[in-house]
Amino acid sequence: MQCVMDHIVLNVEDDEKMMAFYSQVLMFPTERLDEYRAGKVPFPSVRLNADTIIDLFPKEMWRQKARLGEGRDNLNHFCIALSKEAWRELLERLDANSVPIEEGPVQRWGAHGNGTSIYFRDPEGNLIEARHYEA
């Protein structure tokens, strides 16, 4: 199966501190930062390259789903982007292997705008998003 890494999502405690680090220290361009600060979108992103972004989820988005105990889940999920045909084939393989889809299909924001996504877990519980874009 051919795919590209679309995005990684980090759960952050201090969104402004993390945005400053990724944009000023690592020099990754910000995306949707003004819209985030204006309350129009739920999270900001930084761009690694034409195909990949890092989304920075503020605490309000992850605190109720985080595991209990010391520490916190830092990696929320990662996303792979596939062709629409490969995405449909993946759905069939997940079903054939009794891998439950936790959410989706749903429309979500990613490195190339809005796409259609599903969410499922690997055997160790890591959340994976698989998506396709119409265009």
The token pair at 117 is: 């996504």
Residues 28-43 have a mean pLDDT of 96
Strands 127-132 and 75-81: parallel
3-state secondary structure 26-50: CCCCEECHHHHHCCCCCCCEEEEEC
The token pair at 133 is: 């874009």
Least confident residue range of 2-11, 46-55, 100-109, 121-130: 121-130
What was the pLDDT predicted at 76? Answer: 84
- Phi-psi domain of 104 (left: phi exceeds 0; alpha: psi -120 through 50; beta: other): left
H helix runs in the chain, sequence order: 15-20, 33-37, 59-62, 84-96
Least confident residue range of 39-48, 67-76, 103-112: 67-76
What was the pLDDT predicted at 2? Answer: 86
Closest CA to 88 of 111, 120, 113, 116: 116
* Residue 85: CB atoms within 10 Å: 9
Domains in the chain (CATH in brackets) are 4-132 (3.10.180.10)
pLDDT higher than threshold 80 for residue 83: yes
Going by the DSSP 8-state scheme, the letter that residue 129 receives in this structure is E
What was the pLDDT predicted at 67? Answer: 62
pLDDT mean across residues, the chain: 89
Instruction: Among 22-26, 27-31, 123-127, name the most confident range.
Output: 27-31
pLDDT digits (tens, 9 = 90+) for 57-80: 998 888 877 665 555 568 889 999
Q: Percent helix, strand, coil in the chain (nearest 5)?
A: 25, 40, 40
pTM of the predicted protein model = 0.76
